[in-house]
Amino acid sequence: MTTLYLDRSGTLLEASGEVLGLRDAAGRLERRIPIKFLERVIIRARCHLDSSTLACLSAHEVPVLILDGRAGRRLSHWVGAPHNDARRRWGQLLTLATPSSAATLARAFVHAKIRRQRRTLISIGAARPDLRKPLWDACQTLQAIEQRLRNDPALPLDTLRGCEGAGAAAYFPAFFQAFPPRIRPAARNRRPPRDPVNATLSLGYTLLYGLAVNACWSAGLDPAIGALHAPAHGRAALACDLVEPLRGQVDEWIWQLFRRELLRPEHFGLEGSGACLLGKAGRAVFWREWEWRSRRWQKLLDRYPQRLAREFSQRSPTFDLFDDWESS
C-alpha cells in the first residue's frame, strides 16, 4: 500500500475500472496505478479529477486529502462513506456529553502529549549535550505538569487546556534551541508559518491530522466530536485530540530532517505575505521521508480510535488509555 502524491499543476487523474490513470497537462498518459495498491491520495497542486473518479476512490475506501498548493494548509478531505455502525457514534456522543468522562479523556490526551514532548527533549539532549541547561529546565517543567495531570483527576477542561499551554510555553523555546541559528525560529508561528522550521511543522501536523480523520471514520467515530478540543465549524475535534500525543514524534522527526541536512534553507522561499514555502526540491525530500515515517503513525492512529470506540461503548474512558502509546 502506498500514497499517491499529486504535486504538479495540470495533472489529470482518471479512473477506469480498477485502475487510476495519470495524465500530464498535455493529456499524455504517464502512469497507470491499480487502485488496490493505494492507501490514500494527497493533492497539493491544481489537478483535475471528476465525480466518477472520486466515487471510485470512495468505493475502494481510498481517502483524498487536498492541500493549499502554496501554504500546505488543508482545504478539503474526502473520506467517502463512514462506518455504518451508528451505535459507536451514539456511545461517543453520550460519553463526551458527560463532563467528567470528557475531562478524563482530555486529561489523558494532554498527559500523553506532555510526556512525549519531554521524551523528545531528552532525545535531543543526548545528541546535543551543549544544550543541557535549557533542555533540562524545560523537562523539569514538563515533568511537574505530568505529575499534576496524573495526581489530580478532578481538573476541569479549562485547567487542562491551561496545562497544555504551559507545556507548550516551556517546550518550544527549548526545542527550537536545537536548530542552527540561521533557521532557528523565535517562536512557534502559523497561518502563515514564517520560517522553514515552522513551515515544516505545520505541514507535518496537517498531514497527521488527515490520517487521524480517516482513522476516526474507519473506527465508526465522528471526528468532529472530541474531548480536549471543543466542537467548532470546520474542525474535526476528535482528530485534533488524537494528533496531540503524536506531535512530539513529528517534532523530533522534523528536527532530524534538518539536522541531517535533508532539508536546508535553500529548499524554502518567502512570498509577499511573509509566508515561508517549501519549494519543489524540498517537497520531493519531504514526501519521500514522510512516506516511510508516517507508517508507524498510521498504525497508532488505526489502533487508538478502535480502543476509544470500546471505551465509549462502556461510557467510562480511563486515564491510562494512552500509557502504552510510546511502546506500540
The DSSP annotation for 191-240 comes to SS--SHHHHHHHHHHHHHHHHHHHHHHHTT--TT--SSSPPBTTB-HHHH
Q: Same domain for 168 and 232? A: yes
Q: Same domain for 105 and 140? A: yes
Provide the pLDDT for residue 328. 44
pLDDT band for position 81 (cuts 50, 70, 90): low
Q: Same domain for 313 and 203? A: yes
Residue 80 resides in a domain: no
Peptide bond into 192 cis (omega under 30): yes
Residue 81 resides in a domain: no
- Is 266 annotated in a binding site? The answer is no
CATH code, 17: 3.100.10.20
Domain count, the chain: 2
- Is 267 annotated in a binding site? The answer is no
Q: Same domain for 48 and 111? A: no
Cα(124)–Cα(190) distance, integer angstroms: 23
Which comes out higher in pLDDT, residue 78 or 197?
197
Whether 40 has a pLDDT exceeding 80, the answer reads: no
Of 62, 94, 111, which closes a domain? Answer: 62
Query: Where does the chain have alpha helices with state H?
Result: 51-59, 86-96, 99-127, 132-151, 157-176, 196-218, 237-243, 247-259, 280-314
Residue 34 structural domain: 2-62
Q: Same domain for 19 and 95? A: no
Residue with the three cell numbers 502512469: 31
pLDDT digits (tens, 9 = 90+) for 249-292: 999 999 999 999 999 999 998 887 788 888 989 999 999 999 88
**Cβ contacts of 16-19, under 8 Å, gap ≥ 24:** none
Provide the pLDDT for residue 162. 96
Q: Same domain for 245 and 110? A: yes
Residue 67 resides in a domain: no
Query: Please, what's the b/e burial string for 16-46 (b: 16 or more CB within 10 A of its CB; e: otherwise)?
Result: eeeebebbeeeeeeeeeeebeebbbbbbbbe
Of 28, 47, 62, which closes a domain? Answer: 62
Q: Same domain for 45 and 190? A: no
Q: Same domain for 133 and 16? A: no
Residue 69 resides in a domain: no
Residue 245 resides in a domain: yes
Q: Same domain for 108 and 52? A: no
CATH code, 303: 1.20.120.920
pLDDT band for position 304 (cuts 50, 70, 90): confident
Residue 91 resides in a domain: yes
Of 27, 62, 97, which closes a domain? Answer: 62
Q: Same domain for 55 and 90? A: no
Q: Same domain for 229 and 91? A: yes
Q: Same domain for 159 and 235? A: yes
Cα(293)–Cα(66) distance, integer angstroms: 20
| CA pseudo-torsion sign 226, 227, 232, 235 | negative
pLDDT digits (tens, 9 = 90+) for 198-240: 999 999 999 999 899 888 888 889 999 999 998 888 889 999 9
- Is 164 annotated in a binding site? The answer is yes
Residue 295 resides in a domain: yes
Cα(311)–Cα(327) distance, integer angstroms: 20
Residue 109 resides in a domain: yes
